[in-house]
Structure 1
Amino acid sequence: MPTVPILMPQLGESIAEATVIRIDIAPGGSVDADQEVIEVETQKATMGVTTLCRGTVREILAVEGETYAVGSTLGLLDVTEEEVARTGVETLEAAAETREVEQQQAAEKGEENLHFAIDDDSYEERQPVVEPSVRGLPVPAGVKGAHYISPRMRARMDEMGLREADISAVAGTGAGGRVTVEDLEKFLDYIETWPSSHASPMRLAVADAMRRSWTRPLATVSRPVRLDRVLDHRGKLDPKPGLTLYVLRAFAIALSEDPASSGFLIGERVVHPRAFDIGVAVQVEDGVLVPVLRNVDTMTLSELTNVYADMVDRARRRRLREEDTRGGIATVTNFGTFGLTHGTPIPLPNETLILGLAAGVKKPVWSDQVEAFIPATEAELIVTFDHRVVDGGGAGMLLGRIAEHLQRPEEL
């Protein structure tokens, strides 16, 4: 009986692997075509692996908790000849025959071409293969830090999947305080018995993004903003937009008035945005996802409300598509929902700006109209920016424009 593999699919352009988190089939069970049989987790979402045709499960090769590269065989199905003919799927037997023919042709080609290592008529430039990381750990990028790391030490770090930030807690005994391999091994032995937990793909993705972000000179400025008019306007609407959406709209409009603020530096060029697509940070289990809302400067609050609700729901269920998280020029994060009155958000590596909204606080504010202090709700607006592209004055003016737009919520 023909055998058809259950393969780890290509889950996105930049995704080379995924971790199996649940297996819903067992040997001997029957499956239909396009049936979701295995759930896997990437750095951004959970997705289902489906079958290509009807059949009976012969063997499950995948193990829950293990990470597999795209194209890996996760299981095997016994199928009928009729099903193969109906669906056109490639069986393991057919694939083996194809490889045998190709190898034979390659051998014959090699015998004909005895004088040259490369046949110019048939040479094809091969692209480098994307190697999956080991057990979900990010592949070391080898970015040099401020202190010297010997080739021997760097080779050991690469073997273990470690970055320079990972050894910051290790005290160095080498020349000039250099961390040696012996220092690293001693430190790892020291913490061997400490309580620990496995870092999820989500946590590793966040850590990797923050490491790359921090290679730039980042700066943060803030200013208070009155929210009373926004709160009054929000109370008159049904459904009521969240404060995040008001800030998102004001941010997009302010950036459209000065696109240079959201440009990013590439060599000697500042590249400006072609669309004002802005991400929103959504807290999920063990990390943060940033779905991107498109053309925010041209959308109304009511339009944003529906799109935002759908994006947040899919983010929390880990059902975002790769295109839902790409192409943002900036991000908004509302950490005020956790009662925080100040913070220093860090922009994503591919973005120049991130705007944070802190919790609103009732404060006495002087009113020239009544010549007395009156209660008002204020919150801090905080922007962190790439100081190579934006200066403190420019960031301050950007916050000023955002604050002005928030005083006219009916125009958002």
Structure 2
Amino acid sequence: MSQIVLLRALHWSSSIATALRRTTSVHRLHQYQNHYSYSTLSTSSNEILVRENNTIDTVDVRAPSFPESVKEGSIRLLKKVGDKVSADETIAEIETDKTALNINAPQAGTIEIFLVADGDNVTTNAHIAKLNTSNDVKPISENKKDSSIEKIDAEKVKHTLDESIDKVNIEQTKEKSSTSFISSKPSHILTSVTGSKLDTSAPQNLTTSTKQQVSEARSETRVKMSKMRIRIAERLKQAQNTCAMLTTFNEIDMSNIVEFRKKYADQFFKRHKIKLGFMSAFIKASACALVDNPIVNAIIDENEIVYRHYIDISVAVASSKGLVVPVLRNVEKMNYADIERAINEFGEKAKNNSLAIEDMDGGTFTISNGGVFGSLFGTPIINPPQSAILGMHGIFDRPVTSNGKVIALT
């Protein structure tokens, strides 16, 4: 605000100098210029200093630290300048090629200014916004609109200017009105605008054929792909180009697992406060199989085979922004309750878009459940640099033969 007041002072001081140059008294000129210096403005200097000192209450809002595997992300602003936010409230979101990162307000306050635009690419720890934690100071955008002090000072300076010009008997200034300081160009523009005539007549009624053509018109919508979807497509295509993939299909009898779940579901929930699903059985079975077959849990690094003596299983989860693959770590040490609890936590994070990049780093084996879409078979794509992936699909009742008899199995 102090800058706006000083600029107004410069404008009126220059106007004084223009009028006084028409006199022959150089002494009078300097006298009045000194009289209308910035120090004599009616605006309280203490008020300006208070506004300037209030910048001490401004807090910087930065982007979070990215892991080494992430270089940048696209930012989406969720708030506007002038919005009041509470501590830890999300004001923006950074979308990377793996997940979305929330930017939260470090303190309660008012958003003073955004230092980035919506859709910009930002890097780790980048400056995002400035948050004003003072209750008295308005956001920068509001300060620009606040012109009450500016108008008061301008009127007072103009009034003093008119009195001073009368005292020095400047004839040319007397003959001109106070509007002489206004350029004539705006009046020309106004004249041209006033003279123009707009066609305000009502539009003609559309014919029946025209309405039918409009209703039958086909349209298209283009939506920019997110970084996550672009990265998913790149990785899947990379896997197809670099991995010699082989898919085998097997049907299994789920009767025992279905019966096991029905029998112990209530006891399991009462004891662990969490539901028993089918996924935990497949994850536990996969961990046991990987322990017995360490080559499947290994990866190829150039000319070497790296055997990992731990089992981290990636579980593919669908979210609103694409497929995410959080990792259950050290599954060989987990029981059914641990697995179900971890799956539920990742599911909630995926729904809220709060999965951290660390939640999806690594993984030695992946399980993808296409059965939630009712699919019967599928060919899942390996998640590099992993060596294998298990695709699960729908559970259906079907007749099969056993010992020469046709029975119904799940």
Cα distance in 2 for residues equivalent to 1:365 and 1:236: 24
1:279 deviates by 0.9
Deviations 1:61-102 (CA, angstroms, capped at 9, x unpaired): 33333332334332234578xxxxxxxxxxxxxxxxxxxxxx
Looking at secondary structure, tell me which structure has more helix per residue.
Answer: 2
Give the structure-1-normalised TM-score. 0.58
Cα distance in 2 for residues equivalent to 1:202 and 1:343: 23
Identity of aligned residues (%): 27
* Greater relative CO, 1 or 2 (CA 8 Å, sep 6+): 1
Give the structure-2-normalised TM-score. 0.58
Cα distance in 2 for residues equivalent to 1:39 and 1:339: 33
- Whether 1:203 aligns to 2:257 is no
Task: Name the residue aligned to 1:229.
Answer: 256
- Provide the alpha-carbon RMSD of the alignment: 2.5
* Structure 1 residues 77 and 282: CA distance shift in structure 2, 3 A: closer
- Whether 1:62 aligns to 2:97 is no
Structure 1: 4+ residue segments shifted above 4 A:
29-35, 51-56, 77-80
- Whether 1:15 aligns to 2:70 is yes
Structure-to-structure mapping, 1:4-403, within 5 angstroms: 4-27=59-82, 36-51=90-105, 57-77=111-131, 195-214=221-240, 215-238=242-265, 239=269, 240-368=275-403, 371-377=404-410
1:337 deviates by 1.4
Unmatched segments (≥5 aa) in structure 2: 1-54, 135-218, 270-274
Kindly indicate whether the alpha-carbon contact (under 8 Å) linking 1:21 and 1:40 is maintained by their aligned counterparts in 2: yes
Looking at secondary structure, tell me which structure has more strand per residue.
Answer: 1
Deviations 1:46-73 (CA, angstroms, capped at 9, x unpaired): 3322345676543223333333233433
* Structure 1 residues 284 and 33: CA distance shift in structure 2, 3 A: closer
Deviations 1:118-142 (CA, angstroms, capped at 9, x unpaired): xxxxxxxxxxxxxxxxxxxxxxxxx
1:253 deviates by 0.5
Deviations 1:246-294 (CA, angstroms, capped at 9, x unpaired): 1111111011011112211112221111211101110112421111112
Unmatched segments (≥5 aa) in structure 1: 81-192, 378-412
The structure having more radius of gyration, on CA atoms, is 2
Task: Name the residue aligned to 1:188.
Answer: none
What is the identity, as a one-letter code, of the residue corresponding to 1:18? G
Kindly indicate whether the alpha-carbon contact (under 8 Å) linking 2:96 and 2:228 is maintained by their aligned counterparts in 1: yes
1:298 deviates by 2.6
Cα distance in 1 for residues equivalent to 2:122 and 2:229: 18
